[in-house]
Chain A
């Protein structure tokens, strides 16, 4: 079903609740944890046709949108008003805001600007009985009761159906500078990142690609990335022109200090945008290598990043698997991607074993099993171990309280 209005969703949910029919909500279906996969005999509620920007409030710096508006449309609308909506997940060209909120999506700018959660001020949600709930408002400060909006953010369609979102916008940075540095060793790139953070610089983007990923991205985007290196750092700093110039110079100095092979500064906005969009395509581009790509997003505290990267490399070697790794080095969010073939059962088994080890290590280092992709089906079996008994119990009770007849996205996240 592709409803057009909240009232229609309300009627559908009311009926579904009475008949105990499962409801799976989806936007553009670009999620990476299987959260929007239909379950047997369910109604798929697709919010893609609810695609209107309802209000742009320049005095309060907010934007009210329907859930089917794409992330790119939000970013463009904000930009044309001289404002900025920072979250930029890889699929932003087509991913919807409803999906972004339900998954609490991240992106390349997480390090400095945070994730979707940091830009949601309120929302309208339809509950399983058909009741329509509004939570949040345009106030910067609001401590009246529990922050229910925060409960719905990242709830992966298990607690309600999001039908309107009130977004927070910020002023557009006046200047930005984008750079690419290549390194002969991954460790050197990681050291450069640590040194940048230690120098108390928070760039808006600090991404890395390994050799395999660099080659795949270049094959797709053809933007002249350096190919003869083991790691590539994509760095972007933004803000006041003076601060940008200073930070960029400092980052360049640090990279050269850590022995980078080559450092290139994007000559204009167009080139910077090309570099960022090439990076966003990294995951899909890796699919060039093999029939099946399995991507994960184990995340560790920044200080443990170099350790984690080495561990992932060792695991790939141990299980004799082909791997491409890229990710958000600045915020510790890694995307090790195994390049495999699902028809090869034996190799698939080795991939599963490798992931178990990677998750265990991420947890041991104080990290998480998913930084931005969500639990869905992919991480469901790992959640209990990560969350622990007490958290699991509270989450189950919360879910039961809001969805007593268990119609919303059953079988996802946890049972």
Chain B
């Protein structure tokens, strides 16, 4: 395999050159909107990347910090008339930042090694950690610790992080879903479901709902109990080679030749999963299969809209007012905009109220809310303000990061708000039969 000299220098130069500095991305960039600094804008960041590709700038710590200040929300790609592939530039720029080592510190290196290289490379380890956390929460230890006031001894940042700890579900996906779920009625399609990492621990019910809804819509559903991470976490955080390893693992686990569709219900994963061909370009064994794989990966909303949703019964459905927050990697990353609304529209007695600024990032952005809490909170406040303005009692959104972020925000603000994946509302409507 080729040794990568410099991610940005080795990148096809026309990708870097594609930006013609018109600035139409600026008003759509949440970080630029907050600071009004050119370097915090897509145009400014691309100029920095180009300077490195040209050899006019070294990948300094300031450069690396800038690349990690970017949310990676990809709103700029929707705005860009010139078709700049910012997603690709961004991943290579973060890889460049990692390669330069300017961000190295014992603590950061340890955290990265522990999470990216160990925990998320084998999901049985993640599940183990999840079980430990679940035990801690279910035995009442968390409540005890929180009440004891001992947390006050922690630095503010750690206290905030502790408060964000998600509640681990009673049962993981593999305990809720059988490896093969037959279609209800005549089976028309054979699909596989990716259960994800965070999704599996914290929102395994969304995975169960996904499988149920698929089965109700004529799909035989294959859900292997042992799965691998999709690698988006790695690709977005400068670990290009680990992302490649995980992509190969997934193609092995879900042979794309055997399925009509490979379903994901996490926008962030889907946005990455659809680009394995690019990730494995030139790979003699997996390159061609990755191309087929890319065509098979579908977001659950996208797939349901494509095959047509079986209408649930109209009787006995509770009235509900719902607003829809668009996960960045669904609307910007995958251009899936109408389909989730179609899924929500299929739920009887559901009134959809459009959310102002629905495509503006909520601040979750993968692990952004953990590493850039200030900016993430600013965006969360903004999102909550608009959610409140709709008077909806339910917020639907198609990504675990957004779900968690908005749940935490609502909890902190004392809002009575139900935050769910669109597919959950549809699953409930089927269950109301």
Binds B, one of A185-193, A277-285, A357-365, A405-413: A277-285
Question: How would residues 81 to 114 of chain B score, 1 for a CB under 8 Å from any chain A CB and 0 otherwise?
Answer: 1110000000000000000000000000000000
B22 nearest in chain A by CB position: A284
Report how far A220 CA is from B36 CA in the complex, Å: 26
Q: Given the complex, which residues of A lie within 8 Å of B43, measured CB to CB?
A: 29
Q: CB < 8 Å: which of A49, A94, A220, A291 contacts B81?
A: A220
Are the C-beta atoms of A284 and B14 separated by less than 8 Å? no
- The yes or no answer to B27 lying at the interface (CB within 8 A) is yes
> Quick check: A48 and B24 within 8 Å, CB to CB?
no
Instruction: Report which of B17, B21, B27, B82 forms a contact with A288, defined as CB distance below 8 A.
Output: B82
**Residues of chain B lying within 8 A (CB to CB) of residue A30:** 22-23
For A283, give its contact among B14, B22, B27, B83 (CB under 8 Å).
Answer: B22
- A30-B22, A281-B24 known; A292 vs B81 contact (CB < 8 Å): no
One digit per residue, 1 when the CB lies within 8 angstroms of any chain B CB and 0 when it does not, for chain A 94-115 equals 1100000000000000000000
List the A residue with the shortest CB-CB distance to B37: A2
Please provide the chain A residues from 176 to 223 with a CB less than 8 Å away from any CB of chain B in the complex: 217, 219-221
Candidates B23, B82, B83; contact of A91 at CB < 8 Å: B23
With contact pairs A219-B83, A220-B81, A284-B82 given, residues A91 and B24 touching in the complex (Cβ less than 8 Å): yes
- Cα A221 to Cα B22 in complex, Å, equals 16
Q: Which residues of B contact A285 (CB under 8 A)?
A: 81-83
Could you mark each residue 340-353 of chain A with 1 if its beta carbon is under 8 Å from any beta carbon of chain B, else 0?
01110000000000
* CB 8 Å contact bits of B66-86 with A (1 = contact, 0 = none): 000000000000001111000
- Does B295 sit within 8 A of A, measured CB to CB? no
Return chain A residues, CB-CB under 8 Å to B18: 287-288, 291
Cα distance A291–B13 when bound, in Å? Answer: 9
Q: In whole angstroms, what is the CA distance A42 to B361 when docked? A: 36
| Beta-carbon nearest neighbor of B15 in chain A | A291
CB distance from A264 to the nearest CB of B (A): 22
Residues of B within 8 A of A94 (CB): 23-24, 26-27
Query: What residues of chain A lie closer than 8 Å to B27, measured between beta carbons?
Result: 70, 72, 93-94
Instruction: Give bound CA distance, A29 to B19, whole Å.
Output: 14
Residue of A nearest to B21 (CB): A29
- List residues of A (69-93) whose CB comes within 8 Å of B's CBs: 70, 72, 91, 93
Chain B 17-44 interface mask (CB, 8 Å, partner A; 1/0): 1111111101100000000101000010
Contact, CB under 8 Å: B81 / A284: yes
Interface: A62 (CB within 8 A): no
Q: Is the CB of A288 within 8 A of B83?
A: yes
Across the interface, which residues of A come within 8 angstroms of B22, CB to CB? 30, 91, 283-284, 287
Task: Indicate with 1 or 0, residue by residue over A26-37, a CB within 8 angstroms of chain B CB atoms.
Answer: 001110000000
A contact residues around B81 at 8 Å (CB)? 217, 220-221, 281, 283-285, 287-288
A221: chain B residues within 8 A (beta carbon): 81
Smallest distance from the beta carbon of A80 to chain B beta carbons, Å? Answer: 15
Count, chain A residues at interface, CB 8 A = 28
CB under 8 Å from chain A, chain B span 296-330: none
Restricting to A43-57, which residues have a CB under 8 Å from any CB of B?
A: 48-49
Nearest chain A CB to B34 CB, angstrom units: 12
Bound-complex Cα distance A281 to B22 (A): 9
- Determine the chain B residues whose CB is within 8 A of the CB of A219 once the complex forms: 83
CB distance from B28 to the nearest CB of A (A): 9
Chain B residues near A95: list those with CB within 8 A.
Answer: 23
Task: Flag A1-20 by CB within 8 Å of B: 1 or 0 each.
Answer: 01000000000000000000
Would you give the shortest CB distance from B223 to chain A, in whole angstroms? 35
A283 to B81, CA, bound (A): 8
Is A237 interfacial (CB-CB < 8 Å)? no
Assembly CA distance A28 to B20 (angstroms):
14
For the complex, give the distance between the alpha carbons of A30 and B81 in Å: 14
Hey, what's the 0/1 contact readout for A397-410 against B, CB within 8 Å counting as 1? 00000000000000
Bits for B134-146, please: 1 = Cβ < 8 Å to A, else 0: 0000000000000
Instruction: Determine if A293 is an interface residue (Cβ-Cβ < 8 Å).
Output: yes
Q: In the assembled complex, which residues on chain A have CB atoms less than 8 Å from the CB atom of B36? A: 2, 48-49
Q: Flag B378-418 by CB within 8 Å of A: 1 or 0 each.
A: 00000000000000000000000000000000000000000
Contacts of A292 in B (CB 8 A): 17, 20
CA–CA, A94 and B80, complex, Å: 13
A291-B14 contact, Cβ under 8 Å, with A93-B24, A283-B22, A284-B22: yes
Chain A residues contacting B26 (CB-CB under 8 Å) are: 28, 94
Assembled-state Cα–Cα distance A173/B23 (Å): 30
A72 CB contacts on chain B under 8 angstroms: 27
Tell me the complex Cα distance, A349–B332, Å. Answer: 39
Cα distance, A2 to B38, chains bound together (Å): 11
Q: A285 to chain B: closest CB distance in Å?
A: 4
What are 25 A-B pairs with beta-carbon distances under 8 A?
A28-B23, A28-B26, A29-B21, A29-B43, A30-B22, A48-B36, A70-B27, A91-B24, A93-B27, A94-B24, A94-B26, A217-B81, A221-B81, A281-B24, A284-B82, A285-B83, A287-B18, A287-B20, A287-B82, A287-B83, A288-B18, A288-B81, A288-B82, A291-B13, A292-B17
**Contacts beyond the supplied A30-B22, A283-B81, A284-B24: 12 A-B pairs with Cβ under 8 Å:** A29-B38, A29-B43, A70-B27, A91-B22, A91-B24, A93-B24, A94-B27, A283-B22, A287-B19, A287-B22, A291-B17, A291-B18
List the 9 shortest-distance A-B pairs measured between CB atoms, nearest first: A284-B81, A287-B82, A281-B81, A291-B17, A285-B81, A30-B23, A287-B20, A284-B22, A288-B83
